[in-house]
Structure 1
Amino acid sequence: MCAKFTTLLLGLLATGSQAIAASVGSRTTTCPPSSPSPLTTANWIWTNEVTSSLETAPVGSRAFRGRLHTPTDQTPIAATVTISTDNAYELWVQGQLVGTHDDWTHAQVYTVPLPAVLQPANQVVIAVNATNDPGASQNEAGLIMAVNIELACGAVVGYVTDGSWKFDGLLVGDMPQGYWEPNFNDEAWTGAFVEGPYGVAPWGAIPVDAPAFSG
């Protein structure tokens, strides 16, 4: 009788352990709902050298960075970046140079595979060298971007340029060495100035080109 009871008890404990493990596993692999962000939901940003989208900006290059925090229980597998810059840009994704362009009248699209292990953890880091070229007496500058990150579970999480993006606040001298690297220390950088939403003057409703790169 005692042996039968012991066998029954061990069986119940094993079943309970399996149920708990399954429950924990389901919590850590729950796929979030997709929330993609088109370029039309993004903002034009620049440094604090301007106070409006129509103000003339100094000529030269400026470094920008965005740290996009991804769900801690999911694996990001690819990032699709839609970007335009007045006048030109170099785009870096997770330390990889993925594109350059010098015509702000159209936005470009790049899809980039992400490394299996992100450093820093649960962050996709976007860096941009944005350049304002010499121009007319009215010479605006701006950067706009939407980033959509695909997760291994199939969901897409969207991010856009806003005041949470940062720029190198020194604004003089050479660009910071390695600013495009994911682990670059940007704690001392300054929050970007938001010039206005997609469609704001002088840029208007710029069209989006077909994807320019797929890694």
Structure 2
Amino acid sequence: MKRLIVKYSIEFFVIVFSISISFFIDNLREDYERDELRKIIKLSLLDELKASNEYLDWRKKAFDSDLNAMKVISSDSSSIDDIFSNISVAGFSNPLLTPRTFNPPSSVYNSLVNDGTINLIKSRKIKLFLESTYVSYTKYMQDWISAESDISASIEKYIMDNYPKYYLKDIYTRTDKNIVKEFKNIMDSDIKLKAYLKSKSDPMRVKTEVFELYLKSRDSLIYYLESSMQN
């Protein structure tokens, strides 16, 4: 009887031990697979973030150029030469009538959120900067651009209704100083148009400030993603 007890005890132990080892190996394999997937997720995010370098450089130049042009145009102390020498890279009327959009690449991030794999990222700092870069600052930018767009539409309609002959000219010129001079004369005698320009300057300024915060958040996100890959 003792032999049977010992025999079955050993067999039971072997079975339990085998099952435990099997579970342990499975867990190790799952941990390894999660770690590998986590690396792929981080690399994919880094690729997407860095792919936007050229786009963001161009956006910065465009935002700064438009805001500077708007400041000079709407300033009472600006001369025709001041305005002409600070024309936006997209043309004289671009800051007045055409708000710049902001749509950095986000398909990788959106896909990770939709399928839930974004939750594999453990770092609280990475999660924080993912949220601020892809969601918060991007939304703030787009909200201010939307406000700017509404004012641009009002300015365009006002010019069309009140100065149709001027509107039909090459108002997006970068070379015709007479267009600039004519607009300056119109603005100096039209306080409502001047008020429109002031109202458009505010969202343009805030948009540029938020854009700088976006860039800082993005740079921090890239830093923490790269640092986590080295650990």
- Report the TM range for the smaller structure's normalisation: 0.3 to 0.5
TM-score by length of 2: 0.32
Larger strand proportion of the pair: 1
Q: TM-score, normalised by structure 1?
A: 0.34
Which is higher, the Rg of structure 1 or of structure 2? 2
Q: By percentage of residues, which structure has more helix?
A: 2
